[in-house]
């Protein structure tokens, strides 16, 4: 929390579980900060927050200070429909990581709309919800991603 205040940010994203989330809820509420539970995909291992249900179960016992940082690419990698995930997380959605992946159970990023993350439909759902939080484009691969990011920004702007 101290680093967030030093940096002047009001939102932190992470994957805390259990009693750590309770401490975050209490201290972030007092400080006027928010915390988003980040879902993730790790090949070959179960992660605490893979599904929208995993995230919602964790959120059910905490104040509105704790919400969701929904990574639509990771939901798709884990085999979940990203549009349905965004729909289920409505009301607790604080931030969206817009990322597309080649296929379920995979980690290969592709341009927005070229994979299985249903990016146009995700953007439609965010608009339907009148989501006003941050939507951050992610593109992960080794080497330069400058051209891919330029194209992803163009794609996202067209869909906004």
3 in a structural domain: no
What percent of the chain is predicted at pLDDT more than 90?
91
The overall average pLDDT reported for the chain is 95
Write out pLDDT tens, residues 58-71.
999 999 999 999 99
Q: Are 92 and 62 in contact (CB under 8 A)?
A: no
Name the more confident of 7 and 43. Answer: 43
Write out pLDDT tens, residues 13-48.
999 998 999 999 999 999 999 999 999 999 999 999
91 in a structural domain: yes
13 in a structural domain: no
Q: Which residues contact 104 (CB under 8 A, 6 or more apart)?
A: 76, 77, 78, 79, 116
1 in a structural domain: no
End-to-end CA, the chain: 32
Q: Are 117 and 72 in contact (CB under 8 A)?
A: yes
Whether the predicted pLDDT of 1 surpasses 70: no
CATH code: domain of residue 49: 3.20.20.150
Q: How many domains does the chain have?
A: 1
Instruction: Give CA separation, 131 vs 20, 126, 150, in Å.
Output: 28, 5, 24
Q: Residue 116: left if φ>0, alpha if ψ -120 to 50, beta else—which one? A: alpha
Structural domain containing residue 48: 34-159
The reported pTM is: 0.93
């Amino acid at each position: 929390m101290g680093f967030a205040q030093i940096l002047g940010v009001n939102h932190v994203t992470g994957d805390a579980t259990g009693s750590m989330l309770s401490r975050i809820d209490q201290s972030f509420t007092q400080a006027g900060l928010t915390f988003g539970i980040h879902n993730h995909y790790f090949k070959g291992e179960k992660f605490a927050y893979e599904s929208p249900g995993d995230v919602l179960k964790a959120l059910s016992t905490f104040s509105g200070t704790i919400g969701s940082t929904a990574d639509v690419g990771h939901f798709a990698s884990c085999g979940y429909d990203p549009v349905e995930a965004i729909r289920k997380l409505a009301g607790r959605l604080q931030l969206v990581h817009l990322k597309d992946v080649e296929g379920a159970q995979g980690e290969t990023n592709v341009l927005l709309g070229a994979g299985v993350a249903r990016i146009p439909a995700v953007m439609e759902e965010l608009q339907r919800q009148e989501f006003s939080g941050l939507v951050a484009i992610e593109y992960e691969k080794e080497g330069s991603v400058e051209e891919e990011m330029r194209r992803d920004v163009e794609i996202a702007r067209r869909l906004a």
